[in-house]
Structure 1
Amino acid sequence: MDKMDSHTDILRPLSEDEFEELLQLYREKYGEENFHYLLMYNQNKWNEQLRNLNYEAKEGEADEWISFRKVFYTYRDGDFRTYGTYVSLHYDIMQSVSFHSWEPNQSDLLKCLRETKLIDWCGGPLLTNVDLEICEEVKKIALAKGTSVQRARLCLFLILDHDKAAVLDVEQVKSGYTVKKLNTENAALIHELWPNKKEGSLPYVLGLIELNHTVGIFRDDNDELVAWAFQNDFSGLGILQVLPTEQRKGFGALLAATLCKQVAVVEKVHLNAWIVSENFKSKALLEKIGFRPKAKAEWIQLNKV
């Protein structure tokens, strides 16, 4: 993609100050349980963590932290303060795209999606948390760009209030197992078994272990990792898995409660989770520890052409 596009494109990147202003606009408009706000909240946190790492990729080398560098853009000819119009682009093995505006007819946002050269429509991008009212228009834009929808999943966004998460009663793990933080040596196994690994990469899993809260359950006899959960890029619960041989032992609920409580102790943020709408098992598990449905959105995977 031509680097000059970002200087002439219909989208322009927000400065650091503008991005923090956008974050506060969403907080005031929608509150702290809104998934667009939480996406920005987490990115703002990651930005600070990456600055503290003082890491710079050497010329000609891949940026090992690229998975954590979402760039937020807005309509070049508009004012993001009016309708909160933004497009977030994330470059990794595949591009992921998030966007929103509260303009009543969404005309500026849709114009940006149609005319920007920064979205690699034919590269198989993932369009994340797409608001239901514009899903069909977005799919039409994708078709007009020469690609098609590989998979569109209706997902539920669930919230666990911060104050409730902070006082969760976490059960003791079964005898023979220990609960502790993951380390980078666990990343390869987790990545290999992650059903959505094509939407991320091994460096992403490694980075999450370093930057975010994680929790794992390990066998005492051989220190084998048998279950795990991560804090994701909404500062919520993600990548929760239990090995098939260790299921039906209550590990899923234990991991979810443990991670949520850990996050709530150190961050003033509402805990959250995205699940596919027909995943009734996960919904029941999360509701058991206090999560409640908050919103719905589509996650749209486009075909690579």
Structure 2
Amino acid sequence: MATVGQLTRITDVANLKDLQILYLKDWPSNCVGYFWLDNYLRWMDQNPTLKHLNFYTLDNDWRSDGLFILVHRYQLFFSNLSKQKTDLEVALKQLDWSRGFKVSAIHEIHHKIYKQLALDLGLNMDREMNTIMYILNREEAERLQIQCPDGYFLDKVRLEHADLINDLWSARHPGSLKLIQMLITYNTNVGLYEKELGSLCAWCLRLQSGFLGALEVLPTHQRRGLGLVVAAAISKAIATDLQQDITALVNINNSAACRVFEKLNFRLIQDEHYYWSMIKPAAGGQISWPCDE
């Protein structure tokens, strides 16, 4: 009888960095896995005691196929370079799914594996969303000209704005306020402020998957092109400060967001879709996570 592989943790930061390098292959085909790893390597560098973060692979073998599973709080991401089912399915089945997960930025091939797994394990899937990916290369982003409208100024988003951003975030969920706070603290972000009152009226964050996210303009300031301004500003900041390409996931029905990124010369990755969904706790209800953890 064949031996079933065992889920093992990747704890050595040097190994995680080597794993990340594997995801440079066929760029940008594997950029999502690269950016997930890049985000958390940066977070661990800024906060070595970051809690509730684990990286897994099968039988300590992440080198042969780049297989890894990342769990942070209730957030789950997984990938392998071949996008083949066998080892990834074995690894995923050994996770503890009982508390539920938000499963994010999953490539459509991996998504098929995940949906079958959810069916096999009797998991309760909720709030699934289909998205498309846009990308802008670093060189183009560095050349973006940022024109801030009269009466406004650009600055970083502050922690005091986390509640507002979370309240208006279309992907908010129990536990997401802490995530927003961490994104503000650790990642590149841009806010657009009204000069007269100094109040925040538009913003964009960089999600832990590397994608631009939570792009929002307050209703009182819409139809002035402010979303385009903050999207351009954060794209240029990422390209300049991190020397990285810029990516964005957009709901396939969000034509307004598509227009923003197309105006900035983002390129649509043709015929590829990425999904996110929620797996509800086995006991029922919604995912529950302490607000301060």
One-letter code aligned to 2:46: Q
Render the CA deviation track for 1:201-247: whole Å, top value 9, x for unaligned.
32322222222222112222222211111122133421110111211
Aligned to 2:56: 73
What is the deviation of 1:104?
6.2
Q: Is the 8 A contact 1:234 1:272 kept in 2?
A: no
Cα 1:229/1:71, change in 2 over 3 Å: same
Q: Residue 167 of structure 2: which of 192, 198, 222 is its match?
A: 192
CA gap of 1:88–1:104, structure 2 versus 1, over 3 A, is closer
Query: What are the ranges of 5 or more consecutive residues in structure 2 without an aligned counterpart?
Result: 285-293
Structure 2 residue aligned with 1:277, among 244, 248, 252? 252
Taking the TM superposition and a 5 Å limit, the aligned residue runs for 1:135-146 are 135-146=111-122
Distance 2:104 2:211 in 1: 15
Q: Paired residue for 2:135? A: 159
Paired position in structure 2 for 1:107: 86
1:44 aligns with 2:47: no
Q: Is the 8 A contact 2:68 2:78 kept in 1?
A: yes
Letter of the structure 2 residue corresponding to residue 48 of structure 1: D
How much does 1:250 deviate?
A: 0.2
Alignment of 1:1-305 (within 5 A): 10-14=6-10, 15-27=12-24, 29-31=25-27, 34-51=31-48, 56=49, 65-66=50-51, 70-76=53-59, 79-91=61-73, 95-103=74-82, 105-114=84-93, 116=94, 118-120=95-97, 122-173=98-149, 175-198=150-173, 200-294=175-269, 295-304=272-281, 305=284
How far does residue 278 in structure 1 lie from its aligned partner after superposition? Answer: 1.7
Cα offsets for 1:124-169 (capped at 9, x unmatched)? 3112122212423322221332322212211112111001111101
Match of 1:6 in 2: none
Q: Distance in 2 between matches of 1:50 and 1:134?
A: 30
Aligned mates of 1:195, 1:167 — CA distance in 2: 30
CA distance in 2, matches of 1:182, 1:44: 22
**Whole-Å Cα distance in 2 between the matches of residues 90 and 267 of structure 1?**
23
Do the aligned partners of residues 235 and 247 (structure 1) sit closer, same or farther apart at CA in structure 2, a change above 3 Å counting?
same
Q: Which secondary structure state, in structure 2, belongs to the residue aligned with residue 73 of structure 1? A: strand
Q: Residue 131 of structure 2 aligns to which amino acid in structure 1?
A: C
RMSD of aligned residue pairs (Cα, Å):
2.1
CA distance in 2, matches of 1:192, 1:172: 26
Deviation at 1:32, TM superposition (A): 5.3
Alignment check: 8 A CA contact 1:229 1:240 kept: yes
> What TM-score, normalized to structure 1?
0.83
Q: Deviations over 1:21-51 (max 9, x none)?
A: 1111111x23356211121122222221213
Q: Aligned partner of 2:104: which letter?
A: T
CA drift at 1:19: 0.9
Amino acid at match of 1:290: N
For residue 253 of structure 1, report the CA deviation from its aligned partner. Answer: 0.3
Compute the displacement of 1:110 (Å). 0.7
Structure 1: 5+ residue runs without aligned partners?
Answer: 1-8, 57-64
CA distance in 2, matches of 1:31, 1:289: 21
